[in-house]
């Protein structure tokens, strides 16, 4: 028999439970906004090695120069591939508008063989970035509003205390674009770097995992120096090594346009101090 006291207690418990869920979701949103908005300088430059490991243990390395610059409307990125010969002069231009603008991230790829620039459409973003385990969707900047997310726990990775957050697509469009039915993200509590991310398909199967393996403080900014993504179904993995990373250097606006990836990187395009360190 339910007494008034029991009913009141049950109501209070339900209220507290709903409040806890709402708090977890609010906290998760705030954490993911901190990930998106974390300080990465007004610009940066890095020589990057993308190392592809097949299921037989063979490895191929692709080298590219990675440039980023902040603008009032958002971030812009450019990547110029230099080696090996079969990818030399392939280039990418990416624009990440501020989330409040409500616009999708845009990506363009230049292929020297055809001498054409093509936009990577939303339907193509599940594709493999340069044959790696990183998809084009993975290159998009974190968008908080695209997911329903909640804080589910705390763990320590690489001796760094982390929040653990589960994220589910908030719309069919997000699911269609990424192919991920759920993400599980480990976020460093101190610097808001993503230390690990698990990717689940529409059947709930863990298909791949991104792991941060090395972090260093460069120019006062905590930075990922080595990450890898492993595809559990295919038995393949890819590493991304950031070499000679530098922040807050002067980069010309002409490097962050669609015209730049068609033109390619020329002598004199980068400051002397940047060139001397690469």
Indicate the domain borders of the chain.
Answer: 4-275
What architecture (CATH level 2) is domain 4-275? Clam (2.50)
All residues at 6 or more sequence positions from 48 whose CB lies less than 8 Å from its CB, including other chains? 63, 64, 65, 66, 79, 240, 241, 242, 243
Pull the structure tokens for residue 177: 């674009």
Sign of CA dihedral 211, 217, 222, 223: negative
Each residue of 242-270: pLDDT tens digit?
Answer: 999 999 999 999 999 999 999 999 989 99
Is the pLDDT at 23 greater than 80? The verdict is: no
Q: What is the mean pLDDT of residues 222-235?
A: 97
What confidence score (pLDDT) does residue 21 get? 44
């Amino acid at each position: 028999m339910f007494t008034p006291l029991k009913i009141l207690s049950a109501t209070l418990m339900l209220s507290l439970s709903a409040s806890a869920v709402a708090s977890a979701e609010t906290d998760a949103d705030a954490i993911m906004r901190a990930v998106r908005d974390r300080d990465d300088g007004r610009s940066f430059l890095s020589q990057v090695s993308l190392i592809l490991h097949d299921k037989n243990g063979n490895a191929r390395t692709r080298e590219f120069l990675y440039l980023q610059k902040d603008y009032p409307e958002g971030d812009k990125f450019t990547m110029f591939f230099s080696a090996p010969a079969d990818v030399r002069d392939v280039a990418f231009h990416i624009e990440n508008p501020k989330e409040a603008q409500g616009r999708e991230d845009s990506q363009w790829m230049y292929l020297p063989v055809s001498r054409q620039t093509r936009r990577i459409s939303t339907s193509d973003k599940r594709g493999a970035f340069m044959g790696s385990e990183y998809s084009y969707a993975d290159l998009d900047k974190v968008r908080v509003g695209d997911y329903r997310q909640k804080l589910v726990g705390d763990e320590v990775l690489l001796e760094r205390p982390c929040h653990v957050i589960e994220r589910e697509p908030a719309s069919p469009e997000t699911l269609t674009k990424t192919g991920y039915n759920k993400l599980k993200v480990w976020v460093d509590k101190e610097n808001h770097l993503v230390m690990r991310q698990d990717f689940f398909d529409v059947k709930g199967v863990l298909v791949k995992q991104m792991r941060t393996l090395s972090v260093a403080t460069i120019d006062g900014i905590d930075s990922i120096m080595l990450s890898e993504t492993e595809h559990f179904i295919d038995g393949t993995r890819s590493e991304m090594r950031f070499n000679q990373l530098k922040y807050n250097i002067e980069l010309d606006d002409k490097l962050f346009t669609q015209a730049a990836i068609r033109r390619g990187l020329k002598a004199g395009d980068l400051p002397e101090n940047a060139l001397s360190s690469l």
